Amino acid sequence: MTFAVRSATVRFGDTLALDDVTLQVEPGSVVAVVGGDGAGKTTLLRTLVGEVQLERGEVDAPTPEAIGYMPATAGSWLSLSVAQNMNFVGGIYGLSGDALASRRDALLDRAALRDSVDRLSSQLSGGMRRKLGFSMAMVHDPPLLVLDEPSTGIDPVSRVDLWRLVSEAASAGAAVVMSTTYLDEAERAASLLALDGGRMLASGTLQEVLDSFDGAIARTATPHRRAWAWRRGRDYHEYWPTTAEVPLDAAALIPDLEDVVIALSLLRGHDRRPTS
Partner 1 sequence: MTSSGAAQVHPAVLLRADRVGRKFGGFTAVDDVTMSVGPGEVVGLLGANGAGKTTLIRMLLGLIATTVGDVELLGGPPDRERRTHLGYVPQGLGLYGDLTVRENLAFSTQAYGAVPPDLPEALRAGAGRLVADLPLGLQRQLAFLSALAHDPEVLVLDEPTSGVDALARAALWDTIHEQAEKGVGVLVTTHNMREAEQCDRLLLMSQARLVAQGSEADIIGSTTAVAVRCDDWARAFAALNEAGQPVMLAGRDVRVADADADRVRTVLADAGVTADVFGVPATIEERMMVLARAPEAP
Give the interface with partner 1 as residue ranges (CB under 8 A). Answer: 28, 30, 35-39, 125-127, 152-160, 163-164, 166-168, 170-173, 181-184, 187-190, 196, 205-206, 230-234, 258, 261-262, 265-266, 269
Shorter beta-carbon distance to partner 1: residue 168 or 249: 168
Shorter beta-carbon distance to partner 1: residue 80 or 190: 190
- 3-class SS letters over the chain: CCEEEEEEEEEECCEEEEEEEEEEECCCEEEEEECCCCCCHHHHHHHHCCCCCCCEEEEECCCHHHEEEECCCCCCCCCCEHHHHHHHHHHHCCCCHHHHHHHHHHHHHHCCCHHHCCCEHHHCCHHHHHHHHHHHHCCCCCCEEEECCCCCCCCHHHHHHHHHHHHHHHHCCCEEEEEECCHHHHHHCCEEEEEECCEEEEEECHHHHHHCCCCEEEEECCCCCHHHEEEECCEEEEEECCHHHCCCCCEEECCCHHHHHHHHHHHHHHCCCCCC
- In the complex, the smallest distance separating the C-beta of residue 110 from partner 1, rounded to whole angstroms, is 9
- In the complex, the smallest distance separating the C-beta of residue 223 from partner 1, rounded to whole angstroms, is 10
Rounded to whole angstroms, the Cα distance separating 51 from 30 reads: 21
Shorter beta-carbon distance to partner 1: residue 56 or 164: 164
- In the complex, the smallest distance separating the C-beta of residue 139 from partner 1, rounded to whole angstroms, is 20
How many degrees, rounded to 5, is the angle at CA 191 between CA 3 and CA 109? Answer: 80
- In the complex, the smallest distance separating the C-beta of residue 248 from partner 1, rounded to whole angstroms, is 24
Shorter beta-carbon distance to partner 1: residue 60 or 168: 168
- In the complex, the smallest distance separating the C-beta of residue 107 from partner 1, rounded to whole angstroms, is 14
Shorter beta-carbon distance to partner 1: residue 91 or 269: 269
Shorter beta-carbon distance to partner 1: residue 113 or 206: 206
Shorter beta-carbon distance to partner 1: residue 171 or 242: 171
- In the complex, the smallest distance separating the C-beta of residue 188 from partner 1, rounded to whole angstroms, is 5
- In the complex, the smallest distance separating the C-beta of residue 92 from partner 1, rounded to whole angstroms, is 28
